[in-house]
Amino acid sequence: MEFVPVPDTKVLFFIHETRRQDYAVYAAEVPGVNIEWKNQERDGVPCGDKDNHPVVGVSWEDAQAFCQWLSKKEGQTYRLATDREWSLAVGIGHEEKWTIGVTPASLNFKVQNAFLWGGDFPPKTEDKAGNYADTAYREKFPTKSFIEGYTDGFATTAPAMSFNPNKLGLYDMGGNVWEWCENWYDAEEKDRVLRGGSSYSNFKRHSLLSSCRNRNAPNPRRNDGGFRIVVELTKPER
C-alpha cells in the first residue's frame, strides 16, 4: 500500500481508490461482511468486477468498517479523508473559504474553473483526463448521455491508476468512482459527502469540477461509489 503526503494536512493519502482485491482480503477475514460488492451492475453490465478495479457497492458504513479492521490489523489509524483534506489533495483547498459553520454543501461548485486535467470543459481524449461517461460508455448504454468526442476506453470502472496522477501523485481524483468522505454533507446530518469529480457515468460540466460534492445516506450501496483511505500522522484535521 503506497501513501503520499498532502501539504497542510496531517494525513497520508492512499495513491488510488480501494480496489476490489484490497476489499476482498478484508471480506475474507471478517465474518458477516455484506456481499453486495461482489456483484454490482448498471443496467445489466458488470461494474467493478475485476480485482484491480476500485471496489463499488460499498456504503459509507462499509468503508468505516474496513478502516476499523485495517487500523486494528496495522496498528495505525486509517480512515476516510475529510472533505477539506480531499480538497487540499485535489488542489483547490486554498481557494475554498473554510470558516466556522462552513459545510461541504455550502462549498459545492464554488470553485468554478478547476478540473483534474487542468484545462476547461469538455476534456479532450488526449488529455487522458480520467474515466467519465465517454464513447465506450455510450456503446454499452446507448440511451445515456455522454461527453461527445471524448474516449477513455472504459464503459464502467477502469483499473486503478489507468490515467495520469495529479501533482501529488494521486490517481483518479476525478472520474472512475465517487469516493466517500468522513463528513456530513450539511447541518441536517442525514447524508455523507462523496467526492471525486464525478464517476464513470457522469458527463456534465458541473459534475466534473474538482469542487463538486455528491451526497448519500450512510447505508446505500452505489454501483459507481467506492472509497479511498488515508492514514493519520497525528490528530486529524476537520
159-212 pLDDT, tens digit per residue, is 999 999 999 999 999 999 999 999 999 999 999 999 997 899 999 999 999 999
Supply the pLDDT for residue 119: 85
Question: In Å, what is the CA distance from 119 to each residue of 63, 148, 160, 162, 210?
Answer: 32, 17, 22, 19, 12
Whether the pLDDT of residue 236 is over 80: the answer is no
CB contact at 8 A, 215 and 192: yes
∠88-91-92 over CA atoms, to 5°? 80
Cell numbers that stand for 1 in this block: 500500500
Domain boundaries, the chain: 3-232
Whether domain 3-232 has CATH 3.30.70.3040: no
Rounded CA gap, 110 and 114, in Å? 10
CA atoms within 13 A on the CB side of 122: 14
CB contact at 8 A, 49 and 86: no
DSSP structural state of residue 117: T
Whether the pLDDT of residue 109 is over 60: the answer is yes
Q: Is 8 exposed, middle or buried (0-12, 13-18, 19+ CB in 10 A)?
A: exposed
Beta bridge partners of 4: 13
- Render pLDDT for 28-84 as a digit per residue (tens, 0 to 9): 999 999 999 999 999 999 999 999 999 999 999 999 999 999 999 999 999 999 999
